[in-house]
Structures are given as C-alpha cells and as structure tokens.
Amino acid sequence: MTRRTWARPAWLLAIASAAVAWWLVGPAGWPGVAAGPVQAVSAGAALTGAPGLHPMSAPGADADAGARRRSGSSIDSTADPLLVDGLRNTLEALLLEAGDASDPATLKQRLASLVGKHFPAALATRALALAERYVDYRVALGQLRAPQDLTDPRALRDAMDARHKVRLKLFDGAEYDALFAREAELDRYTLARLEAARNTQLTPEQRTQALQQAERELSSERRAERSAATEHLAAAAQTAAFNTQNADDYTRHAARSAQYGEAAAHALARLDREEQHWQQRLDQYSQARAQQGDGAAALQQLRQQLFSADEQQRVDAALALRKLQATTPGS
C-alpha cells in the first residue's frame, strides 16, 4: 500500500499560509467559535506545519523544546517511528481526507477507517489515538480568543501562552516535540523581532542588538532554512528586475554566478527558459480564445496540444492573473 502522506507533502506546504488566518480568527467550523451544536466540523479548516508561516509564540513558552533545538538536537526518528518530522502534516492530511463532520465524535469515527492509508499498519493504533487527541486540540484552539491587535506583542504573547497550555495538556513531551517544536522555535524568533521593532524606547543600536540576539537563539538548522528562503526571495526579485529590464542571457548569468555560483546560475537560466516557453504558450492560447471563444472545439484541441494535463489546471488561473496585473496600477 502506498503511503502518500507519510512524507511531508509539498502541496500541503504550499497552502499552509492559510493556517495563520485560521488560528488568529478561529475556525468557524469548530464548536465554540460562534457555532451552534449543528454547525459542521470542518476537518480541512486549517493546514499547518510549514516553517515560518505560524503566528508568534511567547519567549519562555515552549522553553524546554527550544533549549533542545538550540542545543542542536532534533527529533530522533529511530527512537520512535511514529514521532517523526512531518507528523503534523500527516495528521492534517488525514483530517482533510476525513472531510466535514457534524461533531468531533463523528470525525473521529471517520479517522478510524482512514488511518491505515496514512500510517503504516504497525503504527495505526497509536496513530489513531494521537489523531483523536489532535482533533481535541483543534477543537480547543477554536475555543481560544484570538488577539485583538495582531501587531501587539503582548496580545500575541498571551494568545500563544494559552495555546501552549492546550498543547501541554493534550500531548506528552515527545509528542509535543514532534508536532510543535519546530514551529515553537520560529514563533519565539518572530515574536522577539516584533517586540524589538515595536519597542519605541530602544535606540537603533539596541534594536539591532535585540534582532541579532533573536537570530542567535535560532538553531543552526533554522538559520540555514531562513538563509535559503531569503536567497530564494532575492533570486525571484532579481529575476523580476531582469525581466523588467529585458536583460540578456549574458547579463543574467554574470550576475547570478557572481552571487549564487555557477550551478545556481545555470539552474535559474533553465527556469527562465521554462517560464518563457510557458508564457509563449499562454500567448498562443489566449489569442486563439479571443478569436474562437471558450466553447470552440478547436480551442479545446489546442489547449490539449499546448499544455500537459497538469498545466491545463493552471491555464485559467494564469490568464486571470495576467488580466488582474494588466488592470492593476504599478503591476
């Protein structure tokens, strides 16, 4: 049997930014958030687990887990095959497949029939028990009050402390580490940066020192992740600038190889070519659609010729984005 969700699924990370809004405003489908007893429980209301996309938690909260992460230790998958990196994503994928339910008890019943698709048979019993407590955790989150001001470090600290207490109540130390330690470290870092930025009593030098101290509190693994993410954003911005300037291949390669190295420069050049080919095919299809109309059989045949099955799912969204950009000032 294929374990499609045992490893961290890329699609789950891609939409995990929705988790921030879900936590901060409360999942409407969970009991306790302006919900009557007949309101549906939405198992897919939140998808979490992506590094760097979580609301801030308080310094001092999750301190034991933070100390372990800063010391360089990480989850030891050899000690317990259930408590591995990606566990939280697997639980969320399990809940997503279970779908909406009228109450947590009904949702838990569905999980029992699906757990074997997401976890190895030897771990299914323990995984189900953990998943049921994870449902309880999600319900409890829905009963917490979200911060009134999302830019107020004190309000965020209080909210994250409340969330931390829920986690400690429902999960033991090893489970906590597997599910939340990575996020908690980034939460502490993000809140420390927010506190430094919002503290008007700090001098510029003191603010810089506070930001540097927050950076030092991160484990080497998290610092490497942040560095990689920063480089990714910088490369994307650089490519956008190149496109605006109609920079030639030589100019692009010279700048990229100097900044990122030869291998990365060649990889970025390949992405340039792929993007250019994609845009050319979109141009061809868009022109044909303007002439023939959406319902023309010839247009559907052209769509299949120009785009793969996966690409066809992106065509309409890509054309809509083009239209939006064309009507947006400064785009």
The two tokens of residue 150 are: 């999302």
In one-letter notation, the amino acid at residue 79 is A
Residue 146's closest CA among 20, 5, 60? 20
Query: pLDDT tens, 192-209?
Result: 888 888 888 999 999 999
Contacts of 238 (CB under 8 A, 6+ apart): 255, 256, 259
pTM: 0.53
Q: How many residues does the chain have?
A: 331
Element (H, E) at 127: helix 124-142
In three-state secondary structure terms, 42 is: strand
Query: What are the residues whose beta carbons fall under 8 Å from the beta carbon of 68, sequence distance 6 or more?
Result: 177, 181
Give CA torsion, residues 209, 161, 82, 132, to 10 deg.
-160
Q: Is 73 helix (H, G, I), strand (E, B) or coil?
A: coil
Read off the pLDDT of residues 129-143 as tens digits, 9 standing for 90 and up: 999 999 999 999 888
Phi, then psi, of 100 in degrees rounded to 5:
-80, 145
- d(C-alpha 322, C-alpha 262), whole Å: 32
| pLDDT less than 70: residues of the chain | 1-78, 229, 294, 328-331
